[in-house]
Amino acid sequence: MTDRVYIFDTTLRDGEQSPGATMTHSEKLEIAAMLDDMGVDIIEAGFPIASEGDFAAVSDIARLSKNSVICGLSRANFKDIDRCWEAVKHAARPRIHTFIGTSPLHRAIPNLDMDQMAERIHDCVTHARNLCDNVQWSSMDATRTEWEFLKRTVDIAIKAGATTINIPDTVGYTAPVESADLIRRLIAEVDGADEVIFATHCHNDLGLATANSLAAVAGGARQIECTINGLGERAGNTALEEVVMAMKVRQDIIPYETRIDTRKIMAISRRVATVSGFPVQFNKAIVGKNAFAHESGIHQDGMLKNRETFEVMRPEDVGLSGTSLPLGKHSGRAALRAKLDELGYEVGDNQLKDVFVRFKELADRKKEVFDDDLIALMRINEGAEDHLKLTDLRVVCGTGGPAEAQMKMLIGGASKEVTTRGDGPVDAAFNAVKSLFPHGGRLQLYQVNAVTEGTDAQATVSVRLEEDGRIATGQSADTDTVVASAKAYVNALNRLIVRREQTGVDYDTKGVSYKDAGA
């Protein structure tokens, strides 16, 4: 008989804290629906006190959820907890998650001694439990908290009514043996520990998040906190796909089950990568581009004879087709729809019509359009408002002097054009965008990846901009790297505009307001 492990996904809260990973309201609702559909037990939808936008997202997710528990995060004070409850109370199954840092370093921040902190934990968990019968308490930086004090605080939280006790490795400091032992000792030594669920929340600073989470389960934890693609602050969180597939593949030594439909993993991985602007590294376990690729002659020979020779799981188990069959310029709408459905994209008739036009344009430039080309095609301008739209770009460059970019762009519906120079074609194109739409955004990241092989391969470009503490990432793909770069830059700017609108501040730098720029 296998034990049940609950999957707590915090992509929309902890994952979104990654610099540049902020999602729009509609994107959060879409990701939440996908998590709910794939079988995630608890969705941490956000931090309601953080902003009006966060509160609205958590509240709407709570209303729309079908199966998952919807959880909001709150600090250890009544104001946070009340705001959290206001957001999650609309869910069929709401949860309040309150936390406080218990290690010496974290106790110093609010300047509380042990007795004061113990009293606050009791009061806050009691207050939360009076509002909601499903309360989670977290001892932030638990792995660096003195044992006796950690045991004391867990005992207080349980007696105050917490139903889930989370033991986070907030800074990715622990190791598997220690992770398992910590949970095991708490369950053995704290009164009432057998009546609550213990959770583990691990960060990946030392590359041990997955191992530490699974070790904690072996020690008695029955809830794993994780994110899609391991998204999160610094080096990220435990990756949902890794712990789920580890338990699925190694039932012989990790005999625990979840209710995750693993066939939906690839679709949500790609979607999170798109809306967050954080591409998945090629050699990432489970969901990386190379996770099921075999180039070595020995590996290819073994695969041809028996795929289990070098694969411990089937591509189909995580939502891959197992093969990458290209489409071409003679392919029709039915074939395109079937392929998109296979890749995890549900498209309506109007959207299909638009995608089909772009697919045909790409097929005219490429001999074969592969799965990855279609994924890149679906990412173009997803989730961004089109206040700015690139309509034409022509670049002159070479060894004889500076590059020149001639650009036309729609700004608020009005057409503008300019010719600028730069140190190379991409710099010239970016200067053209800044000339047409002056802004204070600072370029933090410019990254180019080839989608497939060959000189006609599409380039996927990621651009991250920062302005006044707001960070936005844009992506685009094109067989012309300069065009893809310009479109990604414009896409990031559109997202910055959305950030400004969400906070009620006009996009106004150097005397130019985005509301007036196209007039």
Binding-site residues sit at 14, 201, 203, 237
97, 71 contact by CB (below 8 A): yes
Q: Which structure tokens are listed for 265?
A: 């993993």
DSSP state of 348: -
Give the integer Cα–Cα distance in Å for 228 and 241. Answer: 7
The DSSP H or E segment spanning 365 is helix 349-365
Q: Give the pairing of strands 164-169 and 135-140.
A: parallel
Among 162, 73, 76, CA closest to 121? 76
What residues form the annotated binding site for Mn(2+)?
14, 201, 203, 237
What's the longest Cα–Cα distance across the chain?
78
Give the integer Cα–Cα distance in Å for 11 and 240. Answer: 9
Give the integer Cα–Cα distance in Å for 307 and 311. Answer: 6
- Name 199's Cβ contacts closer than 8 Å, sequence gap at least 6: 6, 8, 136, 138, 164, 165, 166, 167, 221, 222, 223, 224, 225
Note the Cα 440 to chain centre separation in Å.
26
Among 244, 274, 268, CA closest to 256? 244
Give the integer Cα–Cα distance in Å for 303 and 86. Answer: 54
Sign of CA dihedral 193, 198, 201, 207: positive
